[in-house]
Amino acid sequence: MSTSIRLIRRWLLFFMISLLISGLTVLPLQAELDMLARSFSPDSTLGQWFGEVRDAWTQTNGRYSFLAYGYDWLAFAHLVIALLFIGVYRDPVRNRWIIEWAMICCLLIIPVALLAGYVRNIPFWWRLVDCCFGILGLIPLSICHGRICELEEAEKKNALNLNEHVYDFR
């Protein structure tokens, strides 16, 4: 196995595991919000924000628990998207489009976080945190994309060399 394929697979596994962990963190949301609210002083910006989010979640989930079903589907979506990368793991060149799709998705996080966050009254600094997920996701994906392009060029070069030998009747 080439060094490029090993590197691609390592970064893909990192990305897939990150997606899984990100999705799974949605499920114990009440406990996470309680912990975050306790971790910061209620007088700090973060403490106020986490306290407000925790209180809103607690009240909404207590009265309308069926709305949390959407969070279950969000966790499931993370799992399904992570599974999509198995195709790239198995055949990076043929499934390069998945990496390109994921890079576009990462870029789209920025306008969605900024615009939807504005509409939903999310503090600007928290919207920037959300934008960081898209920017950070681009790092492993860009590394994979670059290596996949190199593999593709090498495969094309090898195919041309094979064709020259097949048709060389000297």
Query: Can you read off the two tokens belonging to residue 105?
Result: 């998705």
Q: Roughly what angle, to the nearest 10 degrees, separates helices 3-24 and 124-166?
A: 150
Query: Can you read off the two tokens belonging to residue 159?
Result: 């195919």
Average pLDDT over residues 118-123: 97
* Distance in angstroms (rounded) separating the CA atoms of residues 15 and 65: 31
Do 56 and 36 contact (CB within 8 A), yes or no? Answer: no
| pLDDT of amino acid 150 | 95
Query: Can you read off the two tokens belonging to residue 153?
Result: 């060029």
- Structural domain for 67, as ranges: 3-166
Residues in the chain: 170
pTM score, two decimals?
A: 0.86
7-62 per-position pLDDT tens digit:
999 999 999 999 999 999 999 999 999 999 999 999 999 999 999 999 999 999 99
Total number of domains in the chain:
1
